[in-house]
Amino acid sequence: MSQTLYKGTLSYIRAFACSRTTSVRFLKRTYIKPSKLSGIFASNLTRNSMSESTYSKILTFETINPHIKNVEYAVRGELAIRAEEIKEELARNGSGRFGFDTVVNCNIGNPQQLLQPPITFFRQVACLTEYPDLLLPENRDRVNALFPSDAIERAQLLLKQIGSVGAYSHSQGIPFIRKDVAKFIEERDGFPSDPNNIFLTQGASTGVQNVLQLIIADSNVGIMIPIPQYPLYSATLSLFDAQPVPYYLNEEENWSLDISQLTSSLSKARDKGLDVRALVIINPGNPTGQCLTEQNMREIIDFCHQQHIVLLADEVYQTNIYQPTERPFHSFKKVLRSMGSKYDQLELFSFHSVSKGMIGECGRRGGYYECTGIDKQVMDQLYKVASVGLCPNVPGQIMVDLMVRSPKRGDKSYPLFQKEISSIYESLRRRSIKLSELFNSLEGVTCKDAQGSMYLFPRIRLPVNAIEAAKAAGKQPDEFYCLEMLNVTGVCVVPGSGFGQEDGTWHFRSTFLPPEELFDGFCERLKNFHREFLAKYN
């Protein structure tokens, strides 16, 4: 036995002996006679050595955490699962059984899955940081021929700060990148931002979950969420066992937010004894695509201030703005700061992500949240939770840096960057209009324009026979309609019931992300399906 192995074995034996002694001492204190110990160890042994046929699983559907069982997430729910099955069948047997040869995933805002090209500069920098040997002097000529000088410089700068992308970083996120985020916020809003108040995250999702976990002190806590809402919120509330306090958006008024809705929903919840602590605003909206006016945002801030409520501003679609003159994006941080010192104490968390906008780097899992007006001791606790997860992934953090510090006018990469961003933006805008026109042309369907985000949320009025058929199949009517749409056209959308909707109304959510060159064909498929569906059930 080698010396080290011998020493290792010895310390293991000592540790084992020590733990046996400790457990004997513990058992003595709990009044179990050491003589009985052998019996206890023996019965444990018997339990562990149950035969295969009598072994009962520790983890069953009945015994696991019940809050996990309550979680629902329709964006990747039944429709998405069925879509995957169809894809597999198409790959195995071809399109024979179906009237289409591809599944189009409009159920999720995942632009690159639907062939949106990545931003070249971002990938160049990502590539150089992943494989730093490319930056060695001996590779210089080849790399200079392939990469623009500003991408090389940015990669060098980042690597100087980070070391290796394979190393854990600061738990709150790389300080250099947080400084860039703070600078971006300052330039966007015209008000100061402190890098110590920024937490980098794995997409906005983990940020939202960490903040909700912080707020939900017990199961009597209520969190105000919009209806319809993005189900990250309802799912996280189920997971942490808190109470959703729904407030309804006004479909007739372009999914606007009426303060009287907030007030009545809050007072109902407080009457029931709920400790309502936070209000979630998704702006621009998902699934509803509306952008709030500045005046409306001031009212919301005033409501939170008066009612002593924390504001969570989900602003991941802040650059997906399709009516920039009538409905520009304003951040809650900016509006709050512009309202003067009366509101200085308001507690605000603002979320952003690399998954959306024209970037669409969903798979990189990059994001951040900014804390405004949050108590220092509370921030320390958030930091502790971030530390337990060690750090957000470093390539995702790099993508955040690129998002907040993209090429500027005069930089080598600026012309290409600008061309790519505006071509994606213009195309998204055209597609949003085309799809909303299509939906509005269908019998019994109405659809509000997307002022922002990546989705349309049309309302469908279904024939009585279709509602009966849905009931017979054990489905919600909108779920039934969406399943038929998937089976007939290969287009996968999400039923409105996955987001919440006014009772007695039915909707579905579709992204407008399918590639533009396929868009006419895609619209045609939907049009034919809807006509045939109505003919079948009318």
By C-beta, is 108 or 262 nearer to ligand DCS? Answer: 108
- The 3-class secondary structure across 344-362, one letter per residue, is CCCCEEEEEECCCCCCCCH
Of 86-94, 108-116, 177-185, 328-336: span binding ligand DCS (CB under 6 A): 108-116
> Per CB under 6 A, which of residues 151..190 are in contact with ligand DCS?
none
By C-beta, is 314 or 478 nearer to ligand DCS? Answer: 314
**Does 108 engage in binding with ligand DCS (CB under 6 A)?**
yes
Of 106-114, 259-267, 297-305, 370-378: span binding ligand DCS (CB under 6 A): 106-114
**Does 104 engage in binding with ligand DCS (CB under 6 A)?**
no
Beta bridge partners of 246: 225
**Does 75 engage in binding with ligand DCS (CB under 6 A)?**
yes
Binder of ligand DCS out of 353, 397, 451, 489 (CB under 6 A): 353
Of 88-96, 199-207, 255-263, 402-410: span binding ligand DCS (CB under 6 A): 199-207
> Per CB under 6 A, which of residues 259..298 are in contact with ligand DCS?
282, 286
Q: CA triplet 134, 137, 142: central angle to 5 degrees?
A: 55
Q: How far is the CB of 497 from ligand DCS (least distance, A)?
A: 15
**Does 105 engage in binding with ligand DCS (CB under 6 A)?**
no
Q: How far is the CB of 353 from ligand DCS (least distance, A)?
A: 3
- Looking at beta carbons, which pairs linking 413-418 to residues 24 or more positions away fall under 8 Å? 413/120, 413/121, 413/124, 413/148, 413/150, 413/151, 416/120, 416/121, 417/119, 417/120, 417/121
Q: How far is the CB of 73 from ligand DCS (least distance, A)?
A: 10
**Does 199 engage in binding with ligand DCS (CB under 6 A)?**
no
Binder of ligand DCS out of 129, 210, 288, 355 (CB under 6 A): 355
Of 98-106, 200-208, 399-407, 456-464: span binding ligand DCS (CB under 6 A): 200-208
Nearest-angstrom CA–CA distance, 207 and 202: 7
**Does 397 engage in binding with ligand DCS (CB under 6 A)?**
no
Residue 102 phi, psi (nearest 5): -140, 150
Question: What are the Cα distances from residue 313, in Å, to 190, 309, 377?
Answer: 18, 13, 22
Spatial CA neighbour of 258 closest among 234, 231, 289, 290? 290
By C-beta, is 230 or 255 nearer to ligand DCS? Answer: 230
Residue 277 phi, psi (nearest 5): -115, -20
Nearest-angstrom CA–CA distance, 228 and 226: 6
Of 19-27, 31-39, 105-113, 402-410: span binding ligand DCS (CB under 6 A): 105-113
DSSP letter for each residue of 98-157: SS-S--EE-SS--GGGGTPPPPHHHHHHHHHHH-GGGGSGGGHHHHHHHS-HHHHHHHHH
Helix (H) or strand (E) holding 511: strand 506-511
**Does 110 engage in binding with ligand DCS (CB under 6 A)?**
yes
Q: Where do runs of H (alpha helix) occur along 389-505?
A: 394-404, 414-441, 464-472, 477-489
Q: Which amino acid is at 227?
A: I
Q: Give residues with Cβ within 8 angstroms of 274, minimum separation 6.
A: 220, 221, 222, 243, 245
Nearest-angstrom CA–CA distance, 78 and 50: 38
> Per CB under 6 A, which of residues 309..328 are in contact with ligand DCS?
314, 316
By C-beta, is 286 or 331 nearer to ligand DCS? Answer: 286
**Does 109 engage in binding with ligand DCS (CB under 6 A)?**
yes
Q: How far is the CB of 44 from ligand DCS (least distance, A)?
A: 44
By C-beta, is 357 or 477 nearer to ligand DCS? Answer: 357
**Does 237 engage in binding with ligand DCS (CB under 6 A)?**
no
Strands 104-105 and 491-492, how do they pair? parallel
287 upstream amide cis, omega within 30 of 0: yes
Beta bridge partners of 510: 456
Of 59-67, 146-154, 162-170, 201-209: span binding ligand DCS (CB under 6 A): 201-209
Q: Which amino acid is at 98?
A: F
**Does 114 engage in binding with ligand DCS (CB under 6 A)?**
no
Strands 459-460 and 348-353, how do they pair? unpaired
Residue listed under structure tokens 């930091």: 383
> Is 403 strand, coil or helix?
helix
Q: How far is the CB of 364 from ligand DCS (least distance, A)?
A: 9
Of 59-67, 102-110, 184-192, 382-390: span binding ligand DCS (CB under 6 A): 102-110
Binder of ligand DCS out of 205, 261, 393, 501 (CB under 6 A): 205
Q: How far is the CB of 47 from ligand DCS (least distance, A)?
A: 42
**Does 232 engage in binding with ligand DCS (CB under 6 A)?**
yes
Nearest-angstrom CA–CA distance, 445 and 438: 10
Binder of ligand DCS out of 148, 244, 367, 458 (CB under 6 A): 367
By C-beta, is 132 or 246 nearer to ligand DCS? Answer: 246
By C-beta, is 152 or 450 nearer to ligand DCS? Answer: 450
> Is 83 strand, coil or helix?
helix
Q: Is the dihedral of CA 63, 65, 71, 75 positive or negative?
A: negative
Q: How far is the CB of 454 from ligand DCS (least distance, A)?
A: 8
User: Could you tell me if 209 and 367 are in contact, meaning their C-beta atoms sit under 8 angstroms apart?
Assistant: no
By C-beta, is 128 or 281 nearer to ligand DCS? Answer: 281
Binder of ligand DCS out of 204, 225, 335, 442 (CB under 6 A): 204
By C-beta, is 103 or 274 nearer to ligand DCS? Answer: 103
Give the count of residues interacting with ligand DCS (CB under 6 A). 17
Query: In this chain, which residue has its C-beta nearest to ligand DCS?
Result: 203
Q: Interface with ligand DCS by CB under 6 A: which residues?
A: 75, 108-110, 203-205, 230, 232, 282, 286, 314, 316, 353, 355, 362, 367
